Amino acid sequence: MAAPLAGKHVAVLLGGLSSEREVSLVSGESCAEALERLGARVTRIDAGRDLAARLSEVRPDVAFNALHGAWGEDGCVQGVLETLAIPYTHSGVLASALAMDKAKSKSVMAAAGVAVPGGGLFNRFEVARGHVIEPPYVVKPNAEGSSVGVFIVREGANAPPRELARESWTFGEEVMVEPYVAGKELAVAVLHEKEGPRALAVTEIIAATGFYDYDAKYGEGGSRHEVPAKIPASVAKEAMRLAERAHAALGCRGLTRSDFRYDDIKDVLVLLEVNTQPGMTPTSLAPEQAGHVGIGFDDLVRWIVEDASCPR
């Protein structure tokens, strides 16, 4: 039974302005319900441009940031919370902004000895005109999550995705292009404890479509999880070590989730990105790993709230 949070007023920030709004609404509601079970007084705030005014009006003891994607996960909302001196969860301004920028975070992680894919940033129209690196490769927005706007260009493909040149493209003028790493999709959740980052477990995500895209992540029956992943113990240990190192190198706090690709034929393990505010439903990857090591969903939510601080 999780310890109660009686008397604590928690504002749960959910929804928001990004392409991941619907995911955030589900995460936020799950966390709000857990907090109410724990005895906290909860105010749900659908975070919009009036967020500072709403928080000043509500005056919570803690802000639980359940936002995903741009604005909520990239340091912007964290800056609002710092300005208002409200203790908040997850990573601070710098770590959030850095982790959200795929190019910059990869540079920092590589400098810290974390294996990452190659590639780089290119103008989206340049990428749409012709192959900027040899296929197979992956094209993704530099600052989006939940596999939004991601394309795999397979070996032998005649042309890159034409969607990149369309007026409907809303994910920035620069895109990340990196070599495609075949194999298993792995994830490692990390808790930032007093002693430092602690990796929980390694999950393999098996997508029904063969690609862990938005539908595979959030659609019913889109994927299944194996925790612990059925991989060599040495690979699992290395993934957990690299997740802890990446978390520390980026300056993250609270709960994060690192995403990996493992080519079990070539025995190559690379870290793709660190998510500073991973999905928070009882069946999401990070809470699932917490449950695997004996931390129930309500206990995890309580830990995240108790870890909140300002400044971060």
Q: Which residues are catalytic?
A: 20, 146, 218, 257, 259, 273, 275, 279
260 - beta bridge partners?
A: 186, 271
Omega before 282 within 30 of 0, i.e. cis: no
Residue 119 region, left (φ>0) first, then alpha (ψ -120 to 50), else beta? left
**Long-range CB contacts for residues 162-165, cutoff 8 Å, separation at least 24:** 162/128, 164/124, 164/125, 164/127, 164/128, 164/139, 165/124, 165/125, 165/128, 165/129
Query: Which pair of structure tokens corresponds to residue 57?
Result: 């009006």
Q: Could you please report the per-residue DSSP string of 196-248?
A: EEEE---EEEEETTSS--HHHHHSTTSEEEESS-SS-HHHHHHHHHHHHHHHH
Length reported for the chain: 312
Q: What letter represents residue 9's amino acid? A: H
Task: Determine the Cα–Cα distance for residues 15 and 22; give it in Å rounded to an integer.
Answer: 6
What separation in angstroms does the CA of 55 have from each of 16, 45, 48, 61, 172?
14, 8, 11, 10, 30
In terms of Cα–Cα distance, which of 236, 239, 233, 269 is closest to 257? 239
Query: Which candidate, 212, 209, 231, 255, places its Cα nearest to that of 65?
Result: 255
